[in-house]
Amino acid sequence: DNTADTAPTSEELVQLSLLTRVIKESLRLFPGIGMVARNVVKEMECGGYTVPTGKMGVILNLLTRVIKESLRLFPGIGMVARNVVKEMECGGYTVPTGATLVVFIFGIHRDPKYWPNPNQFDPDRFLPSASDQRNPNAYLPFSLGPRNCIGYKYAMLYLQTTLSTILKRYRILPGDRVRSVEDIRFEFGMTLRLLPGNDVRLELR
């Protein structure tokens, strides 16, 4: 029961944190994102404040690109670790069996080798024409392979549904303190965590 007066679970808090980063980065920091919001609302083609269905989510490819670009700049986790089960060569080094490799997701997502102007917010990086030319291993907000996040499809659907529902009811406007990517204050722990001071304004449509 979503109306019950109970404390949020740890899973709900993680989801809320992820959604907050998406909203702040994709809809508030850059002037052009206001047009993104208007286009998303226009594409939805559903009256009132109806929650989007799975079919509606399919047509929201623009919103999906916005979410993906936000997760590129601010992945939920900054790194993942993997145990080496067989000796291998990596970057000119021999990695022995039993060693632990740490993959720095945050660094890969901002590597200009894969992402031109990596600190710039550009949802069109995820157009098919751009994605087809890029190493697919350069984008891993949910990790990759058989040990990737088991809930990544649910997470994307959750973000699409929640964000599009918010956009149906509110305009998301710049706050007073954060005007660029560099202004966002965060730190890494087990997950990427926003620090106090990041603001956002909502205006009823």
Q: What residues pair up with 101 in beta bridges, in sequence order? A: 82
204, β-bridge pairs: 170
Cβ atoms of 71 and 110 within 8 Å: the answer is no
**Is residue 166 classed exposed, middle or buried when 0-12, 13-18 and 19+ CB atoms within 10 A define those classes?**
middle
Q: How far is residue 112 from each of residues 27, 93, 185, measured CA to CA in Å? A: 23, 23, 22
Identify the H or E element spanning 130: helix 128-131
Token pair of 36, please? 């993104």
List phi, psi (to 5°) of 106.
Answer: -60, -40
- Residue 90 in marked binding region: no
The tokens of 166 are what? Answer: 């918010």
The 10 Å CB-count burial string (b at 16+, else e) for 31-64 is: eebeebbeebbeebeeeeeeebeeebbeebebbb
Q: Which residues are annotated as a binding site for heme?
A: 149
Q: Which residues are annotated as a binding site?
A: 149
